[in-house]
Amino acid sequence: MASESSLAQPRVNESESQGIFMKPIAVVALGGNALLRRGDAPSFDNQLANVKIAAAAIAEIAKDYRIAIVHGNGPQVGLLALQNLAYTEVAPYPLDVLVAESEGMIGYMLAQEIQNVMPTSEVTTLLTRIEVDANDKSMLDPTKFIGAVYNEEEAKVLAEANNWIMKRDGEYLRRVVASPKPKNIVDMKAIDALLADEQIVICCGGGGIPVCKSDNGFMGVQGVIDKDLSATLLAKQLNAEKLLILTDADAVYLDWGTENQRALRHATPAELSQYDFPAGSMGPKVEAVIDFAAFGGKAYIGALEHGLDVLAERSGTCVSN
């Protein structure tokens, strides 16, 4: 396995090295809150409506790029966790298994709707394991929001009943879990092969299934990896040209929630590094685009429904050197 220091090195595509032209790669990261808007009922129909919006935008981007899609799973894995607790005949399934379930669920919906829009294209959903450090500092300081939003009274009851940690997400409270940083994409060879075959690849879903090394190989880790950090690791390993983070926010804002709030439309990694953003929401997205832009790519943050405009720099936030 490659050392951690080598993971950020560009990978040379074999076809390109032989002089065969292939479209550049774009990594598109879809936020779990964009696919299931906060405050909306967590129904299949609500999610499907947003998946259709994503599929239409991806179809346009695919005209010029080979695409790897990473999606979030915060609302979805939280819902699975609640359903998991409702059945009391057996012990609840661990969080890494629920992440895998959400990968399959969301990946299926995305693959089907993308192929409905692009019937001649091949679309593959790949359950993806990502190596993390079992002793990551986030294990002691959870920051990753999952599940629904609650008012003060609801949050207190659920926290006491289930031994959950709750933190504020805007005007609401949500459950938070550990979010270890991604170190290595275990299934990278499969992603490479699918993209070389010019398939649209849905991978690293929900940030990927967190695993760590043990004496008996890999084992699951109780956490949810931030999908934006996984998307950046993927984009760097693929030597992608662009990283597009689509969420339920239309841009990166300074002084968010105040009368002085203002959108950042263009920034360099150094400029963006001057500001602090919440660890449980915009913070990882900003960290991701800074990392990828510093690596030499071009990164964007914007609203799911304006994906093409974000990529064309007519909307959202663009970060580059």
**Residues with catalytic function:** 32-33, 144, 227, 285
From residue 272, alpha-carbon distances to 13, 58, 266, 277, 285 in Å are 31, 27, 9, 10, 11
- Parallel, antiparallel or unpaired: strands 66-71 and 165-169: unpaired
- Which tokens is 301 given? 């943050």
Q: Which of 199, 187, 172, 71 minimizes the C-alpha distance to 131?
A: 187
What is the rounded CA–CA span in Å between residue 117 and residue 187? 27
Which residues contact residue 129 at a Cβ distance below 8 angstroms, ignoring those fewer than 6 apart? 185, 186, 187, 208, 209, 211, 218
What DSSP state is assigned to residue 164? -
**23: how many CB neighbours lie within 10 A of its CB?**
14
